[in-house]
Structures are given as C-alpha cells and as structure tokens.
Chains A and B, each alone.
Chain A
Amino acid sequence: MASTTTTTTNNNNETPDAPLAPEQLLFSSTDSETLSKNILMVGAGGIGCELIKTLALTGFRNISIIDLDTIDISNLNRQFLFRKKHVGMSKSQVAKESVEKFAGSKQTGINIEAYTGNIKEERFGLDFFKKFDIVLNGLDNLEARRHVNRLCLSANVPLVESGTTGYKGQVTVHLRGKYCSCFECAPKPVPKSFPICTLRDTPSTFVHTIVFATDLLFPRLFGANKEDPSDLDEEEARDAFTRKENEAGTAFAKRVFAYVFEKKIKDLLEREDMWANRDKKPEALDSETLLKTKEERTATTGYGDAHKKWTMEEASEIFVRSAGKLFEKGDRISEFDKDDDDAVAFVTATAQLRCANYGIEYMSRFDAKGVAGNIVHAVATTNAIISGLIVIEALKILNAQKHLDEKEEGEGKNDRLIKLANSRYTFVGNFNAGRQLLQPLAPDEQNPKCVVCANARAELCCDISKTTLADVISKVLKKKLNTNEPTVLKGDDMLHEEGEDLDDDEVENYAIIGKRTLQDLGLESGGILCVDDNSQELKFDLVVVHQNLEEFDEDAFPEGFELRGETPKVAEGAEKEKDEDGAATDGEASDEIEIVEEGVEITKAVESPRLGKTKAIASSPSPASKKRKTK
C-alpha cells in the first residue's frame, strides 16, 4: 500500500476486494516500488521492440529480454530499434543497446539484461522464471508460448500474452486460478496437415506442391539431417537423391530434376490402378528440353521481379541454379529458411514445376514465399497499439499485487488479484464490419478440462497394437502436447526418462522399451500412462483408448491417432512446425496469433503454418479442387 503520490488522498474508501477506480490503479498506485519490479520479456521482435520502448518510458528499470534470433532486413519495417547496419546481429542485444542509448541509461538508471537464446533452454528453467514479477510475451510461435505458459504457471508468475497479425491483435492475461485461465485453457485452432502420399503422388493444390518442396524435397537435399530416412526414398529414389562423390551441385540438381519431374511421374503413370478413377493424369516434363534452354542464359543472376510469374524455362533454370547455390552453402543450412532468397527461389521453382506436372495453377515468388514461410502480415501500427495495452495490463497487475494481503496464499489469491486488477482480454480489430477498435472482455475462467492448469486428463485414441511408446513420446507428448523432456510411468513402472544425467545403459534400455507397442507394454484400452515433465513442472495422466488403425479417417487424422476428450484441443501444428528446434523467439515471421471473431470465441488462428496456408489459398481463386483420397 505504498502509494506516495498525492492524488490517492482523494479516494480512500476502497474495501478490500472491491476493484480500485481504474485510473487510481493504473497511475496513482504506480510508484518506484512498481517500477523496480523485475520484468521478463520473451521476444524482441515486432511487439518486443515496441514493448521495451514503452516499458522504458513508463519508467520500468529492471527488464530482462530474451530472443534467439538475429536481425533480418525484413524486420526493419516495424522493429524500429534495428538499423540496416544491425542485420545479422542478436535482436535482444541490439534492442538493449538501442533503448539504453535512446532512453539515456545514465539519467533513468535503467537496467536491461539481454539474453540470446532459446527460451526452452535449461538455463531459463523454473528458477529463472521465479526471479520475475511478471512475464510479457511477444512471441511468434505456439510452441514457445505454451512453454512459457507452463513455466509461468509453475513459478506462479503472471503472464501477459500478446499477438498481432495485420491490423488485428490481442492482449490477454494469464494466471492459474478458478476465475482466470492459462494460455492453454482455450482450445487452439487445429492447423491442417496433409497425408504424405497426397504430397508425394497426388497433389491437387498449390499448397501441396509448396509443402512438398519445403517439407520433403528441401530437407532431403539440403537439410541438416539429409542422411536420415525420408518419405521420398522409394526403392530407386535413394540413388536419385544422393549426391555422388565429386558431383557438381548443379549436375546433381539436374539429376534430381530429371527424376522428380519426369522419371517419377512416368513411374506413377504406370501404376494404372492409381489413375483408374481420376479424370486427370499428371504429365511428365521433358527435362532434357527444359534444361537445355538454360545453357544460353548462364549469365543470369538474381530471380527477377518477385511479383512476376516465371516461364517454365525460367523455373527450370532457377531450380538448378538455386540448388547449386544451396549446395555451396552446405552445412550452414539446417532447414528451409524463408529469408534465404535461394531457398525461396528453389521452393518456388519446385512448386511451379510440380504444378506443371499436375495441371495446377501456380503463383509468383512473392506469393509462394508467403505460403512457404507462413508469413503473416506485420505492421508497426498494430504493434505500437498492442505494446501500449500490454504495459497497461502489466501495470494493473503489479499495482493490484500491492493491495493484496500478503499473508494470503493459494489459488484464491490469483482470482482476487485478477479481479482487483480489473484485468482485461483486449482484442484490437480494424473498423471493418462496424467493430470497435478495442474490444475489452473479462478474462476467461479456467477450463476445467485443461491438462495444463486444471489437472485434467488427456485422452489418446490410437491402435495400441501398432502404436509404439516411442511414437507416443515423439508424436503425441512432444509434438502435440508440447512437452520438453517427458517422463512416462505406467503404474509404478518407469517406461521412459530423458535428460543429460541418464547413463548409457538407461538410454539403451529406454530405447528398447520405446520400440514396443502399447499393447506389448501391457496397456489395455482405457489404461493410463502418467506423464511428468520436470522442465515444465507439468504432470498429467494420458488415458489410452484403442481404435483400429483402419478405422481412422485419413484426412482428419493422417497420423493415425486422435488426441481428444478432455484435452484442450491442442494445435496439430507439429506436423509441420517451422520452429521445431526452438525458434522460441523468432520475432520475425509473425509476432502474432489467434484472432477473435465477434469478440467472443477464438475461432481461427494465423499462427500455425498449415492454417496460414489454407487461408492464403482460400482467398484467391483455388487453382484446383480437392479430391477425396481413396485408398
């Protein structure tokens, strides 16, 4: 209750639990105690830049900022703390230096701690989070958001979550409690994923061809794990996709070209049963002719106007040339990067050539990049609005904390805090359709079925005679439920553990257990696995329900299992999550997440790669129709 400013004298009639007058809570209670609180900012991207500026000018003095990313030129249209000369440098470090310079650290005594790293790293564990009074997210991917949410719940630190896309954005406040919700209480939209055989053999949309390029061909040729088994490796394909010793990059690229766009298509055509029920068969390209024409234009550099579509000859030449450049980069490439011009050109060319194979309408490099990189619109104006709102919510929480009885403990305390703070979920929209600019809503209540904060059970429906424990761990626990280092128990039996302190014997033992099916491990339909992740302080039960593999609808559940029932509908972005190895704070692609329609329910997201793509297609004339897959 350490209000030092004069103006509170006016209003001393507050009862313990009644919300303070909003202005009083926001400004009169803001004193040096509030401003010296420890703040953790996760992400130094579009929102992060605005946020750290607003925090500094609001008077906050102790700020830590984490981002793993470096500065790219396409950041400069909104991440205003960065200049052209900073391209390639650490975002968090440059953000710190810029703010100190602008805000004059000598004058204000601001203390900014910059960390370059992935928020999922061990050093940013529970003990790290406990040091902070509030955590402010300016993230761009669901995986990192969920991770931060779990650590905030465990450390009992309030979380202010945010996202923007285009002119729209949102700010929400999360705590564990009955009358407040955690970030994962609300079902996250489910991005679409595609069956491999559609991508590989029967694409029918431009998106299919792009995903083929980014998820199958690119990793197979250039990825960090290009030696790993790939879905492209059919019998004779292994040779086609393996570079011979001393083979020039471009020569190898031509070989790949001839295989992918000609030989493979011809092979497919021979499988007559496959085309019996289809109206249209693919057409093989004439690789010899297409590749010959390029010899005369070897002098070409660059990839031309990004908005213009290439001719077939251009696409063929660019396929080979960009691949050649990518081979030269060698180990510096780990996965498809939307900011690598060569990679984008390669993917665009691949997609275009495959579109030619399958009679699909193709798009320009600019559009292809948007689809491939799941690029979300981002403008400075929305980020500025959102950052102001984040700071307001943070101030309300921090000030309200001072008015809570400190001796009180337990979950009821969080409920009172969020009520006292008059916290709001605020959605920023554009004025189209007569909407208000800001739509403030009361915070959601806890979802009793939330696995993360309400001790609810998750339910996995799969074929227990075919699903192995390793499948459950990699595809369900890690990809869908976003665990980091899960431990799995069946009753008292330890089935799985991971982490650096395991000895070799244990690792080997767990690997053997992992290969066994759930049935072999003695699990029946309705059986329970206990999952515990120390790194996130997360513990829950996974109920396993059996269903024969053949009974799964391949379109709805291409992976052959369904996570359902009492789990929050977790995003299935794992099928193709760009930031798999932890672009935890890649503030770049999208500083942004789900957008609320009509101010009531979260109905769609732009965050997930798949959904972004489906959307991109839906808004333009669809190049081709869906076909039901018949198997």
Chain B
Amino acid sequence: MSSTRYDRQMRLWGENGQKLLSSAKILVLDAGATSAEAAKNLILGGISQLTMCDSPKRMVEERDLGNNFMTSLSFEKGDEDEGDDDANDDALVLERTKRIKRGDMVCKHLKLLNRNVEVNFWEEDPREMIERFRRGEEDKEEDKEELRHHRLQDFDVILASQLDEPTMIKLDDICQKLGKKLLTLRSNGCFGTVKISGAKTHCVVEAKPENRKMDLRLSESGVFTELEEFAEKFEDLEAMDEQRFAHVPWAVLLLVAKKRFDEKQRQTLEDGDYEAQKQFKEFLKSMRRTKTELNFEEALENVRMAWQKPDVPENVSECFEKLPREFRSVTEEGDGVVMMDTETTLSSSDVVSITDVGASDVSTKLFWIFVAALEEFTKRNKKFLPLDAGALPDMTSTTDAFVGLQRVYLEKAQKDQREMLRIVKETIVPNLKTTTRSNDNNSTSVRHGSKIVDVIEKDVDEKQLEEFCIKFCKNARDIRFVSFTSLADERDIWRWENKPEHEGKKAQVASFLAVDSPQRVCAYSYALLRASDAFEAKLCRKAGTYAPEEGVDNVVASSGTEKGKSMLFHRMTSDCAELRALVTKNLEAAMFQSFSTSTSPTKMDVVEKPPSDDADAVNDDGGNGSNNIKAAKAEEAGKFLERLAWEVVRSQGGEIHAVASVVGGVASQEAIKLITGQFVPSHGRVCVHLADGSSAVLP
C-alpha cells in the first residue's frame, strides 16, 4: 500500500529516500497557516511522526478560518448546544468553533491526510517552551507532568514559524548544541522567508545535479590499461567493412586516432592547445571514408575530451579543505609525507573538529571518512576521481562494441570502488586510531578520532559499508557539504556590526541592497521584517495596528467608518516612518556603500544579471555628476523602502494563504532534502516577495 501511495515521489528520491523519510520525526512550532501548510506536505510525503507545538491558550479565530486550511467550522454539537434552533445555527457554530484550541484542530485535520503518520499536539506556547529549554529546567519539579515526555532531541528536524528574531536565535542556539537541523519560516504579507540553521553543516552525497560532467578518461594521462587494450582491438580501422567502420564508438575512435596523431606530429605542438585540437580535428576528418559517418561526427564534437585534464571540482576540493582536524594528519601520513603544517596553512577557524561540523550521526561520519579516503585516492591516482561508469553516454556503435565498452568502464569503476574501500580500511581507519600517539597534543581530537572509527567497527556492517562506498564513488564528482550561518551571526551582519569575519558577507548583503540589484525587493523586505520585530519588541504591538489596550479594534477600523479608516491610516503612516528609520539606522552605510560598489567582485558571485548601464555610469563618472546621481539614487532608495514598508504595516503581520502555501511548500521541500540527504538544500536565507514575483537567497 505505502509503496503505491508514494510511487510518484519515490521516482524523485528513490526507495532509500523514502525509507529515511518514513522514519523521520519532525517538530513544528506554531499552528498557523504557514506551519500547517509545511506540516501538510510533510505528512503527505509519509514521515513517521509530526508533533505540533502551539499555545493551548490560542483558540481558533475567524482569521484562522480565513487563511488556514487545517481549520474549519466545527459542526459537532457539544452538550450545551442541545435544543438550539436553526436560526442561530451559523453564529452558534462559530462560537463553538472558537472554543477549540487551534493546535488541536489543526492536528485533527492533519491526521486525516495520511493515516500512516502519527500526529501529536504539544500543548505549550512555543516561546515559553524555548525559554524553558534554554534555562535547561526541563526536569524541574514545577514543569507540568504532560510536557516531560517532549524532548527536542527526539526530533530529526525542527520547523519554527512566525517567531520573532530574538526567540528564533534562542532556539537556534539550543538546536546547535543538540546538532539538530532547524528551519525557521516567516510569512508576512506578501513576503516570506525560510532559513536553515541549527546544525552547522549538511553533507550531500547524492546532489543529483541536472547536468553531470563526464570524465571518460580519454586523455593521455587519464586512459587506463583496460581501456587502452580495448581500443587496440579497433586499431585496424582500414580493414573494417563500411558498416563496422561507421560503428566504432566515438570514445574508441578518439583513442585510436589520437594515438596515430601523436605518433605523427606530436613534437611540434604544445599539448592540448587550440591549435593542437584544430589539427587533430582535421586529422580525424581525414580518416573518414564518407562525410556522413555519425560516429565521426560524435567524435569531432568531443575532441576536447582527448585532452581532458583530471580535475577535482570545487565542491569536492571544498570538502577536502573542510576535512575535520581528526583527519588532518591522517591523509598526509598515508602518503608517507609528514606535513604537520595544517595549523599554519589554515586559520584556526577553518580547521574544525568533526563534532563542530555537527557530525553526530552515522552518515555524516561516514561521509567524512570517505572524503578523507577520496583525497587520498586522488593523490594516488594522478588527481583522478573514482570512475563513474554511469557517465558513459549512448553512442553510435554496434551492440557488441558498446556492451564491451560498458564492461570496461564498469570493471574499472568497480576496481576504483575496491581501492576506495581499501584506503578506508587500511589507511584512514588505522591512522585515525594511531593519531592517539602521533598527535598527543590534541587530546580531544584523539577522542573524536576513535569515536569516528567506531562507526566503521560498530555502527555499520560490511555490506552497508560497501553500499555506501559504491554510492559515494558514483557521486564522487558531486559530493558537497553545505554550511549554514547561525541566526545570531546573521543578526550581527544585518546590524552591520564590525566583526572582521563578517566582512565578506556584509559585502554580499550590500550588493543585494544595491539600486540595480534584481533581488533588492527581497533584501529590503527582509530588513523590514527584522525592523518590524524590533518595532513589536519596543512598542508591544504590530506595526500598523492599535494595541489591545488602546481600545481600537483594528478589524473594525479597517472596514468601518471614514473616521476609523483615517485613524488607522494615520497610525500606519507613522509606523511606516518608524520602520524606515529602523532599517536605515542599521543599513544606511550599506545602502550608500552599495552605490559605489555595485560592480564589486562579490556582487558577481551572487547576482547573475550583468551590471546595468546605470551602474557603469556611476563608476565612470567622477566629481559632481557622481554626487548628483548618488543623491538621486538615495531618494529612489527611500521611495522604494517607503513602498515596501507600507506593505508591512498594511499586512499587520498577517499570513496570506497563497504566500503561506509557497513558504510552507519551500520549507517542507528543504526539510525533505535535509532528511533524505539528496539534492542540495539552500545554504542561505530563501526569500520570496510574491507581489513583486521575485526571490533571492540572501547570504
């Protein structure tokens, strides 16, 4: 039954992904529209258990019925409703509904979505809960009995929605300590944002990129014996009949032709330069019998592969660089070279312990063990990564030749896999153990080192290790780790505090705030969201509203008399100005800085669009002209901010369902990526501004 139910999604993340999903336990804080949407998608996907934490004092309100699909009018009659007549029915139903706890109702509706998923309601105000865990007082006597069985460490992923920044930072701290992945969501008017934090990193073996680069090892340094031998069988091209000649696979054709080409004219040419490739192409063309052989066409298209250099892609070398320090001395010793200079070549913040990167679980430990092995493998194999036999594309060929070629690649891939496994067992693991002796000065590292070894020796059996090895080798080119900025660091960046380690990120933020940045809407909206949190903390009311004690009903005012409208309008105008001031206070420097650095190199990393003519004009122009433009742009930025601030006060912090649907969708999607370990989750803050139809990933 379950395999049929999940058939369509298993085609995306496979049997293994579904298995991981079906054992995942997820905690969702808040039962509003956005969280309910995220919870809905996760439950449909077939997680094991979902617990929703919401204040027991929060009853269903009319606005919930308007934006949260997991709430509805309750038609179940209570005892006190006996004998009511129909005339009052609608009002009664509404009254009855308003006596139900929101969390209770949402959970009930969620349960209906998928009976295989356990749904629990955790009755506690999320803010109080976070405070309680922060104080570490969970075991104190005064704690309510019913809350004792709820522990954050029991969950795999935690989602928190609609919490203000300070509260989220507290939660992030707790999650960091527990090594739990945290997703924080906000949906405010037409702006929404999702950010992953908590655990500092996430390792991905199956990144599943859309276009995989292939390395068929056809270059002089890349070709391996078995392939060479296979190609030799085709050396006598001249003796082949036409049919066979036109069906020599292009990969083989390249090898054969290159060999002849080299024998003839190698000495005169710089290897692999443009001229050599051009001449080689001509050489290939001259070998054709007619001009229509498709295998030659294919070979001509792939000529550069004959010079393909071994490369360790950036995502892989980043993994090597971030190899936790427990492995640091390991690989170097394996190579027989003693290089104890890791501390000098890398600043101390770069070399972290495996526990610092959040590697508490088995798969993360395995990941780093194999990264260490991969680094060793590339050293032993002229920088080549293990071969991925799946990279062999379809090519014009006879069935025999193609199947034979496939076999050669498959056997080489298996050989590489065996070598990787051997490196793990014979080099990495023993060295992790011996670091006890060679690296006495770092006792914690030693302890962790032997802990890592435990994984191989206790947690996984031989078969699992082999399976992981095969998976790792097949994806070796695409492995990556993603690191997440903590919410506290993010706050400091947006406060523009002077911390040297944040300068790079601040420059990136500045580029997002620039006038010509296509993602400016999102950057400013996020700044405004932070400002509205600060506003609320200061004035104890949401921007654009009257506080309860002021005695003005916001709903009545907005839909009622002219007087009410004008009062509200007045309030909104002044709050709008306040929000603008709050943003400008922190970011003014950045806003101005951005005008002159709009073409800075950091910008190019994050903004795909080339700098507009406008920006060039600023840079080319000097003196007064520049100042005028600057002033004009400052005014423009002010207007722009005004427009977005107005939306914040207008929405009064409310969740709009269409936006909740998008934000909840994004959050659940990222959660699934984290749980299945497939695809690459976003490292930054995902923002969407739906009125404007734009999105951005803020640094």
Contact = CB atoms under 8 A, between A and B. Distances in A.
Interface string A336-376: 00000000000000000000000100000010011000011
A438 interface: yes
B394 A625 contact: yes
Contacts of A624: 399, 402-403
B580 interface: no
A22 B41 contact: no
A78 B8 contact: yes
Given A80-B113, A277-B243, A384-B37, A437 B695 contact: yes
Interface stretch (B143-151, B336-344, B653-661): B653-661
Interface string B396-408: 1111111100100
Quick one: which of A50, A59, A101 has the most chain B CB within 10 A?
A50
Contacts of B457: none
Interface stretch (B423-431, B441-449, B619-627, B683-691): B683-691
A622 B394 contact: yes
B11 to A, nearest CB: 4
A145 B61 CA distance: 40
B210 A78 contact: no
A93 B520 CA distance: 44
Nearest to A57: B657
Interface stretch (A23-31, A239-247, A407-415, A461-469): A23-31
Quick one: which of B650, B682, B690, B692 has the most chain A CB within 10 A?
B690
Contacts of A627: 247, 398-399
Interface stretch (B65-73, B276-284, B351-359): B65-73
A73 B94 contact: no
B245 to A, nearest CB: 12
B1 interface: yes
B179 interface: no
Given A76-B114, A376-B8, A437-B697, 7 more contacts: A9-B565, A53-B661, A77-B5, A167-B679, A384-B41, A433-B209, A618-B394
Interface in A581-629: 597, 617-622, 624-628
Contacts of A125: none
A225 interface: no
B657 A54 contact: yes
Interface stretch (A175-183, A226-234, A294-302, A385-393): A385-393
A170 to B, nearest CB: 13
A167 B669 contact: yes
Interface in B34-87: 37, 40-41, 44-46, 65-69, 72-73
B690 A392 contact: yes
A391 B658 contact: yes
A107 B73 contact: yes
B691 A431 contact: no
B646 A440 contact: no
Contact of A384 (B189, B665, B693): B665
Contacts of A422: 693
Contacts of B394: 617-618, 622, 625-626
Contacts of A73: 1, 4-5
Quick one: which of B8, B210, B399, B686 has the most chain A CB within 10 A?
B8
Contacts, number: 260
Given A204-B399, A379-B12, A381-B669, A74 B4 contact: yes
Given A204-B399, A432-B207, A438 B5 contact: no
19 contacts: A22-B691, A23-B691, A77-B5, A77-B44, A77-B45, A77-B46, A80-B40, A167-B12, A167-B679, A277-B243, A279-B398, A306-B3, A375-B7, A376-B8, A377-B9, A388-B690, A433-B210, A622-B393, A626-B395
Contacts of A56: 69
Contacts of B650: 7, 23, 27-28
Contacts of A22: 190, 691-693
A382 B94 contact: no
A379 B8 contact: yes
A387 B109 CA distance: 20
B5 A76 contact: yes
A231 to B, nearest CB: 23
B539 to A, nearest CB: 21
A617 B394 CA distance: 9
Contact of B73 (A104, A385, A387): A104
B686 A74 contact: no
B389 interface: yes
Size bin of chain B's contact surface: 35 or more
| 3 cross-chain pairs, A with B, having the tightest CB-CB distances, nearest first | A625-B402, A384-B665, A377-B12
A278 B94 CA distance: 78
Contacts of A84: 115
A384 B34 CA distance: 11
A384 B664 contact: yes
Quick one: which of B11, B243, B568, B659 has the most chain A CB within 10 A?
B11
A280 interface: yes
Nearest to A620: B390
B661 A387 contact: yes
Interface string B563-575: 0010011001100
A605 B633 CA distance: 43
A388 B658 contact: yes
A279 B37 contact: no
A57 B390 contact: no
Nearest to B688: A438
Given A77-B6, A432-B208, A625-B401, A424 B693 contact: yes
Given A102-B109, A380-B45, A626-B396, A9 B569 contact: yes
B665 A21 contact: no
A307 interface: yes
A25 B662 contact: no
Nearest to A46: B8
Contacts of B113: 80
Nearest to A22: B691
B246 interface: yes
A277 B8 CA distance: 42
Contacts of B189: 23, 27
A280 B400 CA distance: 7
A430 B665 CA distance: 12
B12 A10 contact: no
Interface in B1-35: 1, 3-12, 15
Contacts of A359: 399, 403
A379 B643 CA distance: 36
Contacts of A370: 11
Contacts of B211: 433
Contacts of B73: 104, 106-107
B208 A23 contact: no
A370 B9 CA distance: 12
A58 B114 contact: no
Given A57-B66, A626-B397, A437 B666 contact: yes
A216 interface: no
B393 to A, nearest CB: 7
Nearest to A51: B661
Contacts of A387: 658, 661
Contacts of B681: 431
Interface in A277-335: 277-280, 306-307
A397 to B, nearest CB: 13
B297 to A, nearest CB: 12
Contacts of A83: 112
Nearest to A104: B73
A80 B36 CA distance: 13
A102 B696 CA distance: 34
A381 B41 contact: yes
A432 B658 contact: no
Quick one: which of A77, A277, A392, A618 has the most chain B CB within 10 A?
A77
